[in-house]
Amino acid sequence: MSDQPPPTVQAQWSTTVTPVVAAVTTLCASTALSGVISGARWLGHAGIAVIVVAAVGLGLRALRTPTLLVGIGQLVSLLFLLVALFTDSGVLGIFPGPDALDDLGTVLSDSVEAVRTGVPPVAETRPVLCLVVIAIGLVAVLVDTLAVAAGAPAACGLVLLCVYAVPASLADELLPWWSFVLGAGSFAVLLAVDGTHRHRLWRNRPALPTTGSGFGSPIAMVSSALVLGLLAGALITGIGTVGSLPGGGNGGGSGGGLALKPFTKLRGMLDQGNNVELLRVRGLGNDSRYLRAITLPSYKRDGGWVAADALPNNVPAGLALPPAPGDDGRGEVTRIEIEPINYEDLWAPVYGTPRNLRDLPDGMFYDQAGGMVFSHNMRKLDRYVEDADLTQPSSDQLRQAGDNYDEIDPVYLAADGIDAEVITLAKLLTDGQNSVFDKTMALQKYFATTNGFQYKTQTALTSDENALKEFLFNSKTGYCEQYASAMAILARAAGIPSRVAIGYTAGFLSGDYRSITTQDAHAWVEVFFPGQGWITFDPTPLADGRTYEPPYVSSDPSTGPSTSVTTEKVPTGSASTTAAPRSERPDTDPQAGNRGGTGSTDSAWPWQAWVGLSLGVIALLLLVLSTAVGMAVVRPFAIVAALGAGVFLLSLVSWWLSALLVVLALAAIPATLRDWHRRQRRTALASEGAATAAWTELMAESWDRGAETSETDTVRTAARRLAKEHSLDDGSKQALRTVVNSVERSWYGGHADRDPELARAFDEVVSGMRKSSPLDWKGRLLPRSVVSPQRKPKRPE
């Protein structure tokens, strides 16, 4: 008999072990994205994409599908996953119909915008997660194809290098060291697995596929990987970098979209450990108003507040600036000197309404509508002087301003994408208020600490609608970004023109100047009043006294202790449930009655998480009982509980993933039953029926491998057929004779005593069958002994 194992051994190794290791390698390399994406939820989406690609590849290769069709199948499965995760209009939830493709196109356009405007680390918004699934999914397909189909896992290093190169070029700081360790270690394992496989091939002298042509040849695949790697490195790293204004150049053209996502940059300042001085301001005196850098006019449901798509280049930042909307140009002017120290950005911050600007370099422009001074390139400015109108109206003047908004862009009134419950809350808060000013004050008062709101600098981002509702109705905990974003959205929902302003608080006095540091980074709300312009409102309850309270707020007799809306009026976070009335506690959380009855504002876990964790604990306890105490009967219940835990925990991402898990579990039932039978019979070798159990299991193993048997065959005839059809080696044949002798003595000789050599001989026969005649994937998933069991061999009475 030849020592060379059949080709199925080689195929099984390359189509099972290698793709699994390749998938793990891809997932480890994807951890490099932690340098450019905040949080950890994105890693779960990346893991799901890698698992789907690997599973589809394993399944299709088990069916001996051509390489090109395997790749196409993986790409199609990735599309199904995108439809399931990021749309609600797919056919049966996962198949891409016209509506689903439109929805997916919208998410993808938002993803492009996130890449174009985001500065690391970006928030885990829906568009960003979609981009992660697409990018890592495509990398997984390419790595799987190179490692498995082309048999060239070393070429995967070029692709994986791009996974590191892109975030490394975008992040301002070094990527985490552990990401490099994981990536390098997993890639080394992939190469080791391939080396082991090639060593086995060398020992058995098969022809290695070192040459060839066509799509699946190693030369073609490695060349493709090299070209893709170079193109990706040249193209992808050119977008999303700090300080670029696409299409902007040095001031020519029409002005491009801003490359800095202000909330992301601001969050970095708020979380910064060191307090770095940015600016020194002279001439402001004791006025503690805010210094404005940028304003955000647009709200997107899945992206939060964003900058304008384009800024005008027609007004150079210099003398005689045109009046802003609502400004008559007659206010008293104050000269302010602003000296950048460690400040480098696209914007030159200004106070109030700028009339003139001096000593700014060429290439700086004034956005009349947004009240911003900007450049197309990051630059460190020298000292510059602003002549600013710092006059402010009284509360009575604001009440009489009216609601004629013809002089501003309609974008400041756009309320598309705001959740119905948020709109209801805005209407309830402003109900009964007679003027726009009173409505705005009512919205601001809702965020007071007496209504349960707390200020913290370390918290989640309000970058999508779910986070907004969580902040408004549940947690009520955040920093200036959440407060400003939420109030501006409520104002839009109430029909009030609003925008979010980004800049700095007044800092602290130091000699003859005010020192502004990174710790002064702040966000607030600006509301437009006809004839008065954009007016500042700050809902953030800063605890350190840095909040600026304008005279129209502090001197207004109607401003007093904050009022709140009772739970009978505030909408709940669920459309199907209503919180119990608790009017005796008007400042309590209106959502407290809807979170599992706990009444705690600290726990916002959905019910699926609680059910999943509970089932997980039950599964763990049952598993301990089945192993430590020996209660094997509870093991199936442990499996069911673990499956239930997985279903509910996956539902936190998508119910369709839970359904996929159920389908996979149902598909695994035949293999599970076969494994249970195998274990039961192996355990029975220590009992009186050892011979019958051993022979039944050997016939089942042979039947699973496609061998045909006859009911009329004797034990010896069946054994000869088994040895021939499965090409047993000499050692396995000798062990089979021991099993046959034991069975004959038990069945025909009347010897019920257990043969001490039976277990060893049985194991050797099974090992020989698995070595010389391994099961393919179909035989593993749908074993014949379970799907279409043969009749039990007859034994004498």
Q: In the predicted model, what is the mean pLDDT of residues 753-768?
A: 84
d(CA 729, CA 736): 11
- Residue 355 within a domain: yes
Report the pLDDT value the prediction gives residue 490, as an integer from 0 to 100: 94
Residue 712's domain comprises 673-787
Asked if 457 and 540 touch (Cβ cutoff 8 Å), the reply is no
Those residues whose C-beta lies under 8 Å from the C-beta of residue 477, and which sit 6 or more positions away, are 453, 454, 455, 456, 459, 471
Instruction: State yes or no: pLDDT of 445 exceeds 80.
Output: yes
662-693 CB burial, b ≥16 within 10 A, e <16: eeebeeeebeeebeebbeebbebbeeeebbbb
- Residue 214 within a domain: no
Cis (ω within 30 of 0) for the bond into 121?
yes
Residue 615 and residue 518 share a domain: no
Report angle CA 59, 65, 69 to the nearest 5 degrees: 100
d(CA 171, CA 135): 17
d(CA 83, CA 98): 11
Number of folded domains that form the chain = 4
Which tokens hold the place of 665? 């579990």
Report the pLDDT value the prediction gives residue 171, as an integer from 0 to 100: 61
How does strand 298-300 pair with strand 345-347?
unpaired
Backbone angles phi, psi at 548, to 5 degrees: -90, 125
pLDDT over 70 percentage in the chain = 74
Backbone angles phi, psi at 452, to 5 degrees: 95, 0
d(CA 652, CA 658): 9
How does strand 353-358 pair with strand 384-389?
antiparallel
How does strand 477-478 pair with strand 454-455?
parallel
Report the pLDDT value the prediction gives residue 529, as an integer from 0 to 100: 94
- More confident: 557 or 26: 26
Instruction: State yes or no: pLDDT of 8 exceeds 90.
Output: no
3-class DSSP assignment, residue 310: coil
Residue 505 and residue 361 share a domain: yes
Instruction: State yes or no: pLDDT of 550 exceeds 50.
Output: yes
Residue 571 and residue 455 share a domain: yes
Residue 170 and residue 120 share a domain: yes
Number of helices (H), then strands (E), in the chain? 25, 17
d(CA 528, CA 324): 11
Report the pLDDT value the prediction gives residue 257, as an integer from 0 to 100: 31
Q: Give the residue ranges of DSSP H helices in 271-419.
A: 395-399
Which tokens hold the place of 745? 């003595």
Q: In the predicted model, what is the mean pLDDT of residues 390-400?
A: 91
Of 394, 329, 716, whose CA–CA distance to 555 is shortest?
A: 394
Q: In the predicted model, what is the mean pLDDT of residues 9-14?
A: 46
The one-letter code for the residue type at 511 is G
Band of residue 633 on the pLDDT scale cut at 50, 70, 90? low
3-class DSSP assignment, residue 389: strand
Those residues whose C-beta lies under 8 Å from the C-beta of residue 708, and which sit 6 or more positions away, are 721
d(CA 518, CA 507): 10
Instruction: State yes or no: pLDDT of 510 exceeds 70.
Output: yes
- The model carries a pTM of 0.46
Q: Give the residue ranges of DSSP H helices in 668-776.
A: 669-683, 690-704, 715-725, 730-747, 758-772
- Residue 127 within a domain: yes
Bridge partners (DSSP) listed for residue 367:
372
Instruction: State yes or no: pLDDT of 771 exceeds 50.
Output: yes
**Residue the block writes with tokens 């876990």:** 605
Lowest mean pLDDT among 407-411, 486-490, 645-649: 645-649
- The residue among 615, 650, 667 that closes a domain is 667
Residue 660 and residue 528 share a domain: no
- The residue among 650, 667, 684 that closes a domain is 667
Report the pLDDT value the prediction gives residue 238, as an integer from 0 to 100: 36
- The residue among 578, 595, 617 that closes a domain is 578
Q: How many other C-beta atoms are found inside a 10 Å radius of the C-beta of residue 482?
A: 31
Q: In the predicted model, what is the mean pLDDT of residues 559-584?
A: 39
- Residue 345 within a domain: yes
d(CA 734, CA 764): 9
- Residue 2 within a domain: no
Q: What is the pLDDT of residues 574-605, one digit of tens each?
A: 333 333 333 333 333 333 333 333 333 333 45
Instruction: State yes or no: pLDDT of 683 exceeds 70.
Output: yes
- Residue 136 within a domain: yes
- Residue 596 within a domain: no
Residue 225 and residue 274 share a domain: no
Report the pLDDT value the prediction gives residue 240, as an integer from 0 to 100: 32
The one-letter code for the residue type at 82 is L
Residue 525 and residue 437 share a domain: yes
Band of residue 300 on the pLDDT scale cut at 50, 70, 90? confident
Residue 548 and residue 695 share a domain: no
Instruction: State yes or no: pLDDT of 215 exceeds 60.
Output: no
CATH of the domain at 425: 3.10.620.30
d(CA 566, CA 517): 40
Band of residue 282 on the pLDDT scale cut at 50, 70, 90? very high
Question: How buried is 481 (Cβ within 10 angstroms: 0-12 exposed, 13-18 middle, 19+ buried)?
Answer: buried
Report the pLDDT value the prediction gives residue 292, as an integer from 0 to 100: 93
d(CA 227, CA 730): 52
CATH of the domain at 716: 1.20.120
Q: What is the pLDDT of residues 126-164, one digit of tens each?
A: 788 888 888 888 888 988 888 887 777 787 887 888 787
The alpha carbon of 10 is separated from its chain's Cα centroid by a whole number of angstroms, namely 37
What single-letter DSSP state applies at residue 627?
I
Q: In the predicted model, what is the mean pLDDT of residues 609-626?
A: 77
Question: How buried is 740 (Cβ within 10 angstroms: 0-12 exposed, 13-18 middle, 19+ buried)?
Answer: buried
Instruction: State yes or no: pLDDT of 520 exceeds 70.
Output: yes
HSE of 655 in the Cβ direction (CA atoms, 13 Å)? 5
- More confident: 692 or 275: 692
Residue 650 and residue 688 share a domain: no
Which tokens hold the place of 32? 């490099």
d(CA 682, CA 690): 9
Q: In the predicted model, what is the mean pLDDT of residues 609-617?
A: 79
Residue 416 and residue 484 share a domain: yes
What single-letter DSSP state applies at residue 579?
P
d(CA 581, CA 575): 16
Residue 434 and residue 286 share a domain: yes
- Residue 795 within a domain: no
**Average pLDDT over the chain, rounded to an integer:** 75
- More confident: 258 or 303: 303
Backbone angles phi, psi at 288, to 5 degrees: -110, 30
Residue 541 and residue 572 share a domain: yes
For the chain, the residue count is 797
pLDDT over 90 percentage in the chain = 15
Q: In the predicted model, what is the mean pLDDT of residues 298-327?
A: 82
Asked if 645 and 610 touch (Cβ cutoff 8 Å), the reply is no
Q: What is the 3-state secondary structure (H, E, C) of 257-270?
A: CCCCCHHHHHHHHH
Asked if 747 and 796 touch (Cβ cutoff 8 Å), the reply is yes
Instruction: State yes or no: pLDDT of 452 exceeds 90.
Output: no
Report the pLDDT value the prediction gives residue 298, as an integer from 0 to 100: 87
Q: What is the pLDDT of residues 668-680, one digit of tens each?
A: 888 888 888 888 8
Which tokens hold the place of 117? 């405007």
